[in-house]
Structure 1
């Protein structure tokens, strides 16, 4: 069978201090980092041993994984396994990019988030061009807070043309139609992020062909449902796999609602579900009125 694994180990430290993130500038102790590395090694070892399934893996750490050597090694190693269709990770792209030359560019992919104020713009942009040169699949996005709009416009103008720029609605932020139109002019798929999706009782691929795995190997249908299906390493999760309606009232995170069968996103992102890369780059709508000009940030 085809199985997608959303892996989140104990890592919770990050090198950024974004005001909208609860894990900003957290530090893991040496013991915590060692435990995270051990858990990841166990997980990748399990993937190497699989022969019956075709696997896709998305690493979704609470912290920043790619500043840790074991996550970089995991992406390279898993990308070369015949049973792995795709291996991807969510990252702030603060790491170097040269290590990706050792990965299979047909399988490795990055879901990159730009955080204005946390890294020099030119440094981040240069890394996106380096990824393009390496032939690595990736998307780039921002959190849709008002202060990020100008940054996002500049980024869209200067990213490689083929790169999709996504916008995540900011948590607990309400957008007027006028504000939403500004973000939709940059990301035509922003309306999917703007409002939570009613999910209670709705069919969802999680729990059937998509599961969440933590550092202990505990398998759940997704990151947002606490009920356990079993354990990855003893195989006890397998009998629990199957179609199940969503038990949550709403789903408001892309890594969750992308799997809802009531939404068309598997067609939109066909071939790029894990890294958030659409099958074809969505056409950006013309705004009702001209956008403000892109002003170089250095000139502000």
Structure 2
């Protein structure tokens, strides 16, 4: 296998997915749903969605038929809400189940790692079905630099009847690419108040790092947007440095950071699970450790 396909529904995400797919195969082709031609793809099949009031998921059958006609065997989707929806619909049309990939290797055979039992284990599988549909989260595949402009071919496709976009509203939250960050500072429930996160923000600024968090910070107390949550259903990162502050280190969080080159943990509980996975650890109150660290920086 030396060819992979991606399905893109927006230009920025499509370019990122296409460039990352380059680490799997020498030939990267794309089906673009209103995202135009992708510079990072060798060939982009563009489908005009602007002339229809149908949402992109209404094109799932058309995309599946197009992929089948072109002989696609490995198809990648992004892990955003729209990407997951498209992956499920296209996979159903192809007669397979989508795989949420935690790692991918494409050689003579396609080998995929996925999280199992809610992130408590990692399952390694060889995909033997005629076509594989993979959902690729941030950081699962390394980012690559791709120069040039691939070929673009417009194709005709009709959406399924019955679905119509009534209204579009700007999405709330932030736009952040944690998967591309070389340094990340993560915060957890060790912080007693939302205002105290300013300590971590200042530290991240000194380190030139992105600020991230554990799930309770994003979905429990809503101190940070969901886009900055690391873990089993959040972002996966591969930074040079991950500094975990006030994070206990449950397995659901660790699966999102385990590929960091260096993990440094700060926690006042010497028995916190994070220390079993950290390269360096500081047992101490973050309210004492962080100010001293800021002074040193």
- Relative contact order, higher structure (CA 8 A, sep 6+): 1
TM-score, normalization by structure 2: 0.26
More strand by share: 2
Q: Which has the larger radius of gyration?
A: 2
